[in-house]
Structure 1
Amino acid sequence: MDTQLMPREKLIEYGAGSLTNSELIAILLRTGSKGKGVLQMSEELLNYYGSLTALLSAEVSELMNIKGLGTAKAVCLKASLELGQRIFREMSENTRVRLDEPEGVYCLCHDMAFMDRETVRVISLDTKLNYRGLNTVSIGILDSSLLHPREVYKPAISRTAAAIILVHNHPSGDPSPSKEDEGITSRIRNAGETLGIKMLDHVIIGSGRYYSFAAGKVFTAEVAHNDF
């Protein structure tokens, strides 16, 4: 392999799998800046964040902390990373996993481990516990006074779901449930009983670990994380 090839030519000649992370990012950035080549900028970006998963969580304004990386480059990079996440999520949704087990829920929603804000999702299931859909119902600080059962069950009702699984993340990385989490679980479960929609579980996603209220314990993740 000709190591002198530029990333774009290298991809054409040998395929995308032959490129390093910095070379792939360099293609997205397209050009460098005054006094800084595109590969140098790409390597600086990776060194600044330390990993692709950390880069994935960065907002456009944060990406622009890298000297020479303007709005256009930051937006293009952010859009590409988000598209990669959506592709992986779509693949996960189309893969038959057992959602009646915490491991299956983590497999579907493990991208939440990389989010820097608390996010709440609802997985809708039919009477045979087959997957019907995934919806984000809240982003921000999880507060039982703000997270209304109506918002949680709205997507389940629209999908005529028979059951749901509540999923949210702890940006701290520790999936251990708080008193607030326990209160939310009880409140949402009780509302579901009134509506005739069963809440099978509430899974909290942490860093490499997740907690299941149904199982009453923390699990260590065994699925591999894909870096984008």
Structure 2
Amino acid sequence: MTYSLRIADLPSTERPRERLMAHGAKSLATAELLAILLGTGQGAGKLSAVGLGQYILQKLGEHKRDPLTALREVSVHELTQIPGVGPAKATTILAAIELGKRVLAAAPTEKTVIDDPAVAAAVLSADLMWQAQERFAILLLDVKHRLLGTRIISIGTATETLAHPREIFREIIRQGGVRAVVAHNHPSGNVDPSPEDIALTRQLLQGGQLLGIPLLDHLILGDGNYTSLRQTTTLWQDYPQGD
């Protein structure tokens, strides 16, 4: 569906700004979020702001690229090549994208307590969530589950990364961690664990028992989502960590 009707001509309940105010930003499609940034469409009876937002995503999605991935990496030059997108609209979009990146990359406050998978995922989002290659990371924690720091252990290809339990526990011990959360990303966006992910988690849980360094969780991140293996498997019942 392509919007040519002006947003001002839509019923108030269907306008992006009003819907965002009533139901929150998550209720809007990506094109509608872009429309709020654009403010206006192409004018002269052509595409509305929402239609222009759809057109931008369509153009960015050419060459078999995911539109959101392309949007994260887009340049002013690319945007201004799209009819109806001038420097003002292009810079507004880029400013919004950069602001979002900085929010995700904001350093956690000192002694952040990692007491929920969502907190751990938020801390790791900048390093793992949108990467084109698989990365394996550790959250280093003290005895009260307070964050001491994060470490990237390995960087792999677009489909796999390698992390050996020996390297993981060596880094935890070297950095003075006494609890840990491990995580890696799936660039495909599918955050279901693979058999290899399950096998590695089992090894780490066994290592945690032997070394007295509890593993609190193993997260898989990708494309704005995450999975907690502690919440979705029985491994922690099979290998209790005493955390």
TM-score bracket for this pair, using the shorter chain length: 0.5 to 0.7
Q: Structure 1 residue runs of 4+, over 4 Å off?
A: 47-53, 55-58, 83-90, 95-98
Tell me if structure 2 keeps the 8 A contact 1:116–1:171.
Answer: yes
Which has more radius of gyration? 2
- Are 2:196 and 1:171 aligned? no
Higher RCO (CA-CA < 8 Å; seq separation 6+): 1
Q: Is the 8 A contact 2:104 2:122 kept in 1?
A: no
Structure 2 distance, partners of 1:84, 1:137, is 27
Pick one of 98, 107, 130 that aligns with 2:122.
Answer: 107
Indicate the residue corresponding to 1:188 in structure 2: 204
- Aligned 8 A contact 1:117 1:139 in 2: yes
Structure 2: stretches of 5+ with no match in the other structure: 1-36, 39-55, 79-97, 234-243
State the shift of 1:113 in Å.
2.0
Taking a change above 3 Å as real, the CA distance of residues 159 and 88 of structure 1, as seen in their structure-2 partners, is farther
The match for 1:152 is 168
Q: Distance in 1 between matches of 2:173 and 2:152?
A: 14
Task: Give yes or no for contact 2:110–2:147 (8 Å, CA) kept in 1.
Answer: no
SS at match of 1:151: helix
Partner of 1:125: 141
CA distance in 1 between counterparts of 2:166 and 2:73 reads 29
Tell me the TM-score normalised to structure 1 length: 0.56
TM (norm. structure 2) is 0.53
Other-structure match for 2:154? 138
How far did 1:91 drift?
2.6
- Identity, in percent, stands at 29
RMSD of equivalent CA atoms: 3.9
Deviation of 1:187 (Å)? 1.0
Tell me which residue corresponds to 2:108.
Answer: 93
Contact 1:54/1:114 (<8 A) preserved: no
For residues 151 and 118 of structure 1, the distance between their equivalents in structure 2, rounded to whole angstroms, comes to 17
Correspondent of 1:207 among 220, 223, 228: 223
